[in-house]
Structures are given as C-alpha cells and as structure tokens.
C-alpha cells in the first residue's frame, strides 16, 4: 500500500486497537495463478512462540484454503472509517479527495488443529456477543448444530510478517480547513463521515 510520510501510522497500540475494532477483513492469496479474496472476521492474538498472529476460519466449500500449503503468504486488509472530502470546504479552491483509515498485514498462513479451531470460534463469539443483552455462547448452541457447522470450516493462523498502516486524515491542511472538514463531516447524514470526523478530532486534538 502506498503511504506518504504524513499518512504513515507506526503506533503499535493504535494499530492493535484498529484491528480489534475493525475485525471484518479481506484475506487475499494466490489460487491457480490468480488472486482470490475472502471476506471474514479475524482476531489478533499471539502464538506459543510469542509471535503476533491473526486467527480465523474459512468454509471448506471455499476452494481458497486448499491452496494454503502451496501459497502460504497472504495479505489481509482491514478498513476503517472513510468519506469523500469536498474541496468546497477549503478556504482556497482545490481538488477533492477521500479520507480513510486502513491496515494491510502480510503473513504466513498455517492450518490449525480442531482444538485450536474450537477455541478460536469460542473467542470470536465471546468478543462480539459481550455487549448483547442476552449473549450467545458456544454452550447455548445445540450440540448437533455445532457439530455439523464445525465440520464445515477450516481454522488457520497467520503469522504476521509485515504491517502497513495508513491514516489519510487531511494532515496536509491547516487548522482552519481541518476544522471546516470536521464540521462538514459531523453534520453529514452518513455514519461513515461522522466516524471519520471523530478520528480526525483524535488525530489533531487541538483543532477546536
């Protein structure tokens, strides 16, 4: 991913938080000399060696996993808030642009045991159910249903080798333009624009 110096994010804790908050990713790998992509949830963790990993699962019906042994290198793409930025919001006429946050992670993929797969599924459910009024748990799922669905997926871990994180948040604009952009995004009916405004506020806390 092309990242100008002003947009580079090397804050490890920020990147970790971003992945946890935007865990639905796109995993890209080679399959029969073509790129193949799957949309799926991934969780950040560490393995027995203390290496940073991503943990996930994929449907057995999806042919992508059958090529993991021959093509173990994968790219995972995590996307955050994004929005169109009109140049009419600037003091001086200019070209419009698009602001966004994204993290690209490269790594080596390994298939995991059924035991690890079960634990990863339980962790995934617990993560996304914790704020529900009546949280679902693995134990509440009927055994027959769980056994059937479990046989239909393959678990994997991705040992992280490279992390590229980008924050394109109008860092090149002065405080007046920056404030105008935030105001316009905040009053938009687009929830993505609203979320991006909050990210811009955090990125330049003295904007107001």
DSSP string over 51-85: -EEEEEEEETTSGGGGGTTTS-EEEEEEEEEEEEE
Give the model's pLDDT for residue 15. 97
CA distance 151 to 12: 36
The three-state secondary structure class of 183 is helix
- SS3 (DSSP) at 208: coil
Tokens 């997926």 belong to residue:
153
Distance of CA 44 to the CA centre of its chain: 10
What is the DSSP track for 7-49? Answer: GB---HHHHHHHHHHS-EEEEEEEETTEEEEEEEE-EEEE-TT
Cβ neighbours of residue 20 closer than 8 Å, sequence gap 6 or more: 44
- DSSP-assigned letter for residue 6: G
Q: What is the pLDDT of residue 207?
A: 61
Task: Give me the residues of the chain with pLDDT under 50, please.
Answer: none
Cα–Cα dist 202/206, whole Å? 9
* Predicted pLDDT of residue 93: 87
What are the structural domains of the chain? 5-201 (2.30.110.10)
Kind and range of the H or E run holding 199: helix 191-203
SS3 180: helix
Q: Are 137 and 37 in contact (CB under 8 A)?
A: no
Q: What is the pLDDT of residues 150-190, one digit of tens each?
A: 999 999 999 999 999 999 999 999 999 999 999 999 999 99
């Amino acid at each position: 991913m092309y990242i100008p110096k002003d947009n580079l994010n090397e804050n490890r804790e920020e990147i970790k938080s971003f992945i946890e908050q935007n865990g639905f990713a796109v995993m890209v790998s080679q399959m029969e000399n073509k790129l193949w992509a799957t949309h799926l949830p991934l969780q950040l963790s560490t393995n027995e060696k203390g290496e940073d990993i991503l943990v996930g699962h994929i449907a057995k019906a999806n042919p992508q996993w059958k090529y993991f042994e021959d093509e173990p290198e994968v790219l995972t793409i995590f996307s955050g808030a994004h929005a169109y930025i009109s140049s009419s919001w600037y003091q001086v006429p200019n070209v419009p642009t698009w602001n966004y946050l994204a993290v690209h992670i490269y790594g080596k993929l390994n298939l995991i045991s059924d035991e690890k797969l079960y634990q990863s599924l339980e962790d995934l459910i617990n993560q996304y159910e914790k704020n529900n009024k009546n949280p679902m748990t693995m134990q509440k799922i009927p055994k027959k249903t769980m056994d059937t669905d479990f046989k239909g997926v393959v678990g994997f871990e991705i040992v992280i080798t490279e992390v590229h994180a980008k924050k394109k948040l109008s860092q090149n604009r002065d405080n007046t333009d920056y404030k105008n952009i935030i105001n316009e995004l905040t009053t938009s009916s687009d929830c993505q624009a609203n979320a991006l405004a909050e990210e811009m506020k955090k990125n330049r806390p003295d904007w107001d």
